[in-house]
Amino acid sequence: MSRIEILPAIDIIGGRCVRLSQGDYAQTKVYDASPVDMAKRYADCGVRRIHVVDLDGAKASSPQNLRTLEKMAVGADVEIEWGGGIKSEEALRALFDYGATYAIVGSVAAQNPQLFAGWLARYGGEKMVLGADIRDGKVAVNGWQQEVEMTIDDIIGEFMPVGLKQVICTDISRDGMLQGPSFELYTRLQQSYADVDFTVSGGIASMRDVEECDRLGLRKVIVGKAIYENRITLKDIERWLLNE
């Protein structure tokens, strides 16, 4: 059985790597490495797919770092899943044109389900990823600045009949806090919806957390702040991939 896939995260503001804590733009930490350099480093240690969020785009409701995406796509041999501000067909097409392999859509799925259902039909569940960010059981939208009256199960139930295959579920309360993920939440979701690939997102603090996700039969895990804070090293990721 293949092991859980690690997706290193790159969050971008103004073309630079940053990390937020609990989705709060006021709690932003800027790191020295450029997104292009980080993408190359991950590709060099064998990572197949990276998770990138255009935080400027999430705030502005349209992608703002497409040039950075283009440089990453050209400069690193890695698949890129990209989210942040994808609210229109034009934005979605631009994303794929600039080199993204997968598009992560959250706010549109919650607030304009017919539009997202159309994208799922047109581009397929292989390319479209539902980003379901939750706080206290409710789905949060628009850069986590608003909540809607919808649970994670409501939104999955809405899109499974029209081809949903991939969901990144972020527990906002744990994001960037390095306190471990919500193991029970992800185990329940993966067992309830076996045909959907869930990605664990939020709280990963060490390789021990990754190992536990793997032991629980989870399929993908996003690792962000733990890498930048040197709690998980590129060597750790390389070793994990070599032992697949």
Nearest Cα to Cα of residue 193 among 158, 221, 222: 158
> In whole angstroms, what is the distance from residue 175 CA to residue 19 CA?
10
- The closest of 99, 56, 91 to 75, measured between CA atoms, is 99
136 carries an active-site annotation: no
- Residue tagged active-site, from 56, 133, 175, 209: 133
- Residues 6 or more apart whose CB falls under 8 angstroms from that of 208 comprise none
**How far apart (Å, rounded) are the C-alpha atoms in residues 222 and 169?**
10
Spot the catalytic one: 11, 56, 197, 236.
Answer: 11
Alpha helices in 106-220 (DSSP H): 107-111, 113-123, 152-159, 183-192, 207-215
Distance CA 172, CA 23 (A): 7
Q: What is the dihedral of CA 99, 102, 107, 112, to 10 degrees?
A: 100
Is residue 133 part of the annotated active site? The answer reads yes
Nearest-Å Rg of the Cα atoms of the chain is 16
Cα 150 to Cα 60, 122, 167, 196: the distances in Å are: 23, 25, 15, 19
Q: Which residues are catalytic?
A: 11, 133
